[in-house]
Structure 1
Amino acid sequence: MADDSTMTIRATFATRAAADLAVEHLVQQHGISRPDIFIQSKGDENTAGSRPSGGDASHEGGAREDAALEGEIEVSVDIPASESAAVRRGLGDADAIRVSGG
């Protein structure tokens, strides 16, 4: 009998860009439905990550002062338990700082 239980995997990222890329990998490579994926700040503060990237960096090469760099971004995903190992690997490949659950 196959294990059809659902579990939640959480991964933290230093930038919003990395979190967004991880979501795209979950959808496109693992076939996970977007309503089963959640993105939020890891802490209580609103944040774009813990370091600048993409739109958070100025054209002069320094960090913008108006980006809320107050902490990490968390991606959580509800998946069948049987997909845990593959999803954990995929999140790690997408530059997750930490992956937990599963």
Structure 2
Amino acid sequence: MHCYSTSKAGVRVLTTDLAFEMGPQGIRCNSIVTSCFATEMATVLTKVPEFTSFVSGRTPMQRWGEQDETVGVVIFLPSQSTSYINGTVIFFDGGMSCQV
């Protein structure tokens, strides 16, 4: 799990560093951090009751995300409507990151 956590942290730092470095050229850098989504890759995990229960228990929405729920944020983030958003990490995780 430490490799996964380290890579997620790296994406966050890279997002802010690139936003700072590339901003003067008008290039924005933002990222979307997701939690568990019911995808083809996660099919094996969705069949493990203990893991499904763990995810649901740590997510305030008490469920996995669905692939079609990602469309809105993926279309929104690179749109002109967000031209002043730069260096932002959007947590798209059903509230999982709110855990204390």
TM interval, short-chain normalised: under 0.3
Higher strand share: 1
Which structure has more helix as a fraction of its residues? Answer: 2
TM-score (norm 1): 0.23
Which one scores higher on RCO, CA 8 angstroms, separation ≥ 6?
A: 1
Which one has the largest radius of gyration? 2
Using the size of structure 2 for normalisation, the TM-score is 0.23
